[in-house]
């Protein structure tokens, strides 16, 4: 992770039933921001297909959201989904001792009030 244009990639493989309207949220540091080339219509890819996404930053964290519509499910059960989020920028380059970025993944499997939520914390490996 560096201060030039960067991307993050990971695989979502839901081991539980998911429904139309499911959405993925990735929480990370406020030091991760969008690059000037970021486009919410084309910078987030699921299995190499652009999906609309939103990136918002508040005083505590940056949140990336990629949502299914009410009639589709982008995260089907037991189907690996390759997620790539391009055109990101980090205010400070990370290292083994400072500016270490954590990513919290939250998959909400329904838009209903009783929707199930699965959470996962990932700490990326920094390679110099």
User: pTM of the full predicted structure?
Assistant: 0.82
Q: Please list the residues that pair with 57 across neighbouring strands.
A: 62
Arithmetic mean of pLDDT, 75-85: 93
List the structure tokens of 121: 């914390």
Say which range, 36-40, 83-87, 107-111, has the weakest mean pLDDT: 107-111
With beta carbons less than 8 A apart as the criterion, state whether 88 and 34 touch: yes
Q: How many CA atoms lie within 13 A of 70 on its CB side?
A: 2
- Say yes or no to pLDDT of 127 above 70: no
Please report the pLDDT score of residue 115 as a whole number: 62
Q: What percent of the chain has pLDDT above 90? A: 35
Please report the pLDDT score of residue 63 as a whole number: 94
- Say yes or no to pLDDT of 102 above 70: yes
CATH number of 6-122: 2.60.40
């Amino acid at each position: 992770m560096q201060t030039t244009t960067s991307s993050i990639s990971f695989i979502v493989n839901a081991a539980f039933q998911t429904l139309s309207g499911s959405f993925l949220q990735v929480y990370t540091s406020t030091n991760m921001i969008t690059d000037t080339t970021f486009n919410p219509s084309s910078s987030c890819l699921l299995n190499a297909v652009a999906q609309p996404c939103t990136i918002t930053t508040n005083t505590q964290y940056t949140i990336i959201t990629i949502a299914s519509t009410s009639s589709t499910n982008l995260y089907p059960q037991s189907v690996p989904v390759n997620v790539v989020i391009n055109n990101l920028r980090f205010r400070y380059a990370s290292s083994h001792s400072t500016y270490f970025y954590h990513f919290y993944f939250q998959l909400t499997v329904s838009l209903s009030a009783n929707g199930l939520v699965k959470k996962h914390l990932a700490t990326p490996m920094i390679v110099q």
